[in-house]
Structure 1
Amino acid sequence: MESIKAAIRELAKGMPIDSVNQKLAESLMKDPRIQSFLKKHPDMNEDTFYKSIPKLYQYVTEHNNCEQCPGLNNCPNMLKGYQPDLIYDKQSIALTFKPCSLKRAEEQRKKQSGLVRSFYVPKDILQATFQSIDKSDPERYRALKAAGDFVKAYIDHPESANGLYFYGKFGVGKTYIMGALMNALAERKQVPSLMVYTPDFIRELKGAIQDHTLDEKLDYIKTAPVLILDDIGAETMTPWTRDELLGSILQYRMMEKLPTLYTSNYDYDELEEHLSYSQKSGTESLKAKRIMERIRHYTKLVTIEGTNRRTAGD
C-alpha cells in the first residue's frame, strides 16, 4: 500500500488532508466502476467511504493501468499481473486480487512446460506446436494429421489409443512433430508426456547400475502416461538393452495400456533386424520378433519423406 499512499501524498502537494480526501472523493465518485459499486451497497455510510479512499484509489488506478496494459513484464500494478476487486462487508471495504488474462496465460504456459518432460531432447523441440509447423508439404501434413488424430483419440479414450511410429530419414521433422503432439496433449487436457532420445537414455540407464538408480529410472519411463522413444534404432544393441530394458518397458506399458510412440530412421522390418543382432550374441530373431510384436500391434506406421530440413535451414 506504500506506493498508493505515496501517490496520494504527491497529489496533495501540501494541501490539508481534508481537502485531499475531498478532492479524491469527488474524483472517485465520477468513476463508473465506483458508481456501480456504491449502487450495489446503498447501506454504505460516508465514513466507510472516506476511510477506504486509498483502497478505492488503488482499485481505480490499477484498472486504468489494465486498460492501457503495457504487457505483463511492464505491469505497473502493485501485484504484477493481478487485477483488484472490491469487497464490501459490514461497513468495511477490502481489496482482493485475481490474475489477469496475461498472467493466467503465463501460468498456463509454465504448467504446460512442466507437463512436457524430456531426456536429451533439444529445447526447440519442446516448444513446437501444430500451429508453428509448415503444413504445405503433403508428406509432413500426413504426419501432422496422424499426430492430431492421436491427440484426439487419447483425449477421448486414453486406454484404447494406439501409438504412432514415425519412420523417415534424418531431418525430415519426425521429432518436431512429436514435440507439437506433446504440447497439444498438455494444453488440451493437461496430459503429462515424456520424450527420450533413446541412444543417450540407454547409456544413462547403463550407468545407473553403478549408482543404484536403475529401477527408479526404469519406473519413471515405464509409467509415463505418454512415452515417446525418439530415434529408436540408433542405440548400440545388446541382449541386455533389448530384453531387460526395452522389453521390460514395452511389456509394462502394454499391460497398463499406456501408449508408446516412436521416431526412427528404420521401418518396422529394419528395426526388427537391428533388434535381432548384437556383437556378443549374434542373431536372435525370436527375441527381436517379441519386441516388434509389441511395437507393430500397438502403433500406426507413418512414413515421412522429404528433404532434410536441418540442412535446408528449416
Structure 2
Amino acid sequence: MKSMGEVIGTNPLWQKLQERAKQAETELYRHELIQHLLEQYPDAKFDLSDLYEFRDTNKHCKSCTGLEGCQNFFPGHRKTVIEDGGHLTMPYAPCDYQKSHDYQRKIKTLIKSQFVPQHIMNTTFQTLEKDAHRIDAIKAAMAFCLSFERGKTTRGLYIYGQFGVGKSAIAGAMAQELAKRGVDVLMVYVPDYLMEIKGSIETGGMEQKLEALKKVSVLILDDIGAEAITAWTRDEVLGPILQSRMEKLPTVYTSNLTLEELGRHFANAKNEREPNYRSAARVMERIEPFVEYCEVKGRNRRRDQKQASS
C-alpha cells in the first residue's frame, strides 16, 4: 500500500504545481534585481519568500509615480537589505515618496508659516500661464525639478520681479512637482516664518524650526526681502540657515528685489543706527554664488484677478 506522500507525489496536478514552482524559482533567480542582490551579498542565505517580495516590491517601485498609485501590499514601503554587524535582515522600509510624505506631515506640525495661500500650493506647471514674459523662469524652474538629484544638486534659483507677476506661483509649481517626485521640499513665507521664530523664543521649539530649514532637501523661501529685517533675524536666523545649506542643499528664493536691492535691505536692519554692509555681504555671499537668476516680468496678475472679481 502506497503512503500518502507517494500518492501525492504521483498526482499529475501536484507534479504540475511542482513544475510551476520550480519554473517560478528559476525566473526569480534570473531577475536582474535578484542577480544584483546576490552579487552584493554572495554568501548570504535569503529566505525564498523574502526574495520574491524583494523582487516584486522593488519592481513596482521602478514604475511608481506616487503613493496614490503604489502597487505594493504595504503602500509606500518595499523590501530592503540592512546589514548590522555582519547579520543581514530584509525588512520593509519606506520609499522616497513615503519619506517625503512623512517629512511634510512632520513639518506641518512644526512650522505654521509654511502655509502659503492654497491656490499657490495647488499650482502645477500644467496650470501655469506660460506667456512670453515669464516663460524663461518657468523653463528654469522645470529644468531644476527634472534634473534634481539628492546629494548632487546644490544650486537653486533666485526668482525676482515686480508685485503680482506670478513668482510665488512658479515656486508653488516647483513644490508640487518635487513632492510628486518623492523629494522633501519646504516652502515658507519668510515674513511669517521670522515672526514665528521670534515668538518661539518664549514658547520653545526655536531650534527645531531652524533645523527643519537647514536639513530639508529643497527649501523655498517665498518673498524674501519683504520681512522687517533686524540684526538678529539676519545674523542669527537667516545667516545660519543659509550657511548650513550652501554648497550642500539647494535653496529657491522669490523676491520683489534684485540681488543688489536685497543686499541693501539686509544692510539696513531696523534696530541698527547705521547700515551694516559687512553683515549684509556675509549673508549675500551665502545666496549669490549658489543660485541661477530668473527675472519674471509681465502684468500684475493679482490686480487683474481683483478687478475681475469686483
Query: One fold, TM greater than 0.5?
Result: yes
Q: Which of these residues, 248, 260, 285, is aligned with residue 269 of structure 1?
A: 260
Percent identity of paired positions between Structure 1 and Structure 2: 42
Distance 1:140 1:252 in 2: 31
Distance 1:185 1:279 in 2: 36
Deviations 1:34-74 (A, max 9, x none): xxxxxxxx949xxxxxxxxxxxxxxxxxxxxxxxxxxxxxx
- For 2:164, the equivalent position in structure 1 comes to 171
Distance 1:158 1:143 in 2: 24
Partner-residue secondary structure (3-state), 1:288: helix
Q: Does 1:299 align with 2:291?
A: yes
Distance 1:115 1:145, change over 3 A: farther
| Contact 1:115/1:191 (8 A) holds in 2 | no
Runs of 4+ in 1 over 3 A off after TM superposition: 103-108, 110-118
Distance 1:229 1:183 in 2: 15
- For 2:134, the equivalent position in structure 1 comes to 140
Q: Which has the larger radius of gyration?
A: 1
Indicate the RMSD between aligned Cα atoms, in angstroms.
2.7
Partner-residue secondary structure (3-state), 1:131: coil
Q: Which of these residues, 174, 184, 190, is aligned with residue 181 of structure 1?
A: 174
- For 1:234, the equivalent position in structure 2 comes to 226
Partner-residue secondary structure (3-state), 1:209: helix
| Contact 1:233/1:264 (8 A) holds in 2 | yes
| Contact 1:229/1:262 (8 A) holds in 2 | yes
Distance 2:287 2:281 in 1: 10
Q: Does 1:250 align with 2:242?
A: yes
Partner-residue secondary structure (3-state), 2:286: helix
Q: Does 1:127 align with 2:146?
A: no
Distance 1:292 1:128 in 2: 29
Distance 2:210 2:303 in 1: 35
Distance 2:230 2:245 in 1: 21
- For 2:9, the equivalent position in structure 1 comes to none
Structure 2 length-normalised TM: 0.63
Deviations 1:261-314 (A, max 9, x none): 100000000000000012321210011011111111000111101111112129
Distance 1:139 1:162 in 2: 23
Unmatched runs of 5 consecutive residues or more in structure 1: 1-41, 45-100
| Contact 2:160/2:296 (8 A) holds in 1 | yes
Distance 1:113 1:176 in 2: 21
| Contact 1:120/1:201 (8 A) holds in 2 | no
- In the TM superposition, 1:198-237 aligns within 5 A as 198-237=190-229
Distance 1:130 1:176 in 2: 9
Residue 182 of structure 1: how far off its partner (Å): 1.4
